[in-house]
Structure 1
Amino acid sequence: MGVAGSGKTTVAALLAGRLGAEFAEGDEFHPPENVAKMSDGMPLEDSDRWPWLGHIRDWLAEQAAAGRSAVVPCSALKRSYRDLLREAGPVRFAHLTGSRELLTERIQGRAGHFMKPAMLDSQLATLEPLGDDEDGFTVDVFPRPPEIVDEIIAHLDR
């Protein structure tokens, strides 16, 4: 989980490969209306996010029902969003965090992505960090992705 530019997709794909888990790109679950809205520089509202999160939850539930581990990068900015995802079964969250400067630099460096740098402020304002009672942990994204994955795996092994 994390805001735009935190490296969710890169880290999640590497993590899934290391764990031998199923992988799905969370952005692929967005309906076309959400993609169009974000492409126009408009932040999503809760009413936009619920259907998207429901699709991710359903995919996670399918994987769990089939006995497969799964990794899906998803912003999961609010606790209520994470609560919905947990309906799929046991879910652990790795909250990827970084400085505003690093996140902005990464967003600006992405070609062809619908997320615009100006929308980072909206995501940061919406973000509710993991609560002490939530199954998850925070990881700094300044290191290289393989090092981030090493840290995540160390947390998962605890």
Structure 2
Amino acid sequence: MERLTPRVQILWGVVAVLLATVLAGVLAGVTFWFEWRFPTAAIGAFLLFAVLLLGHAHLRFRLWRYELQDDALFLHRGVFTRVRTVVPYVRVQHVDTQRNPFERALGLSRVVVYTAGSRGADVRIPGLKPDRAESLQERLRALAGEHEADDGV
């Protein structure tokens, strides 16, 4: 099983702090609206939210795994709800690599595997180095091509 690059924790950590800021801001707005006047509550809430969300981001990183096997891509992820996904290569339609501006700044990339089907028709592998994402994309493309001949349709 392969792991994600540790740099993805920075990205997920920044998202966690931003979300904690928004949640604490909403709490501060509610207390101001109802004139409860507890300014320290917003600071305490921010700290609580930040610690919980940063912990979640760290656990998310530690639990994320993927593996290319002979006939399928296996994904293991999830903190509260553990998700194990099996993507048979014969179901792979196409594979993309994607990088948003934050990922580019951190030297990260993600692979998106689009599959046949309507529910959950794509799976994402985040937190990869760009060269690993490209090699994974090529490998998945090759494996999907090899298994296309095995498709009985």
Question: What TM-score do you get using the length of structure 1 for normalisation?
Answer: 0.25
Greater relative CO (CA pairs within 8 A, separation 6+): 1
Which structure: larger Rg? 2
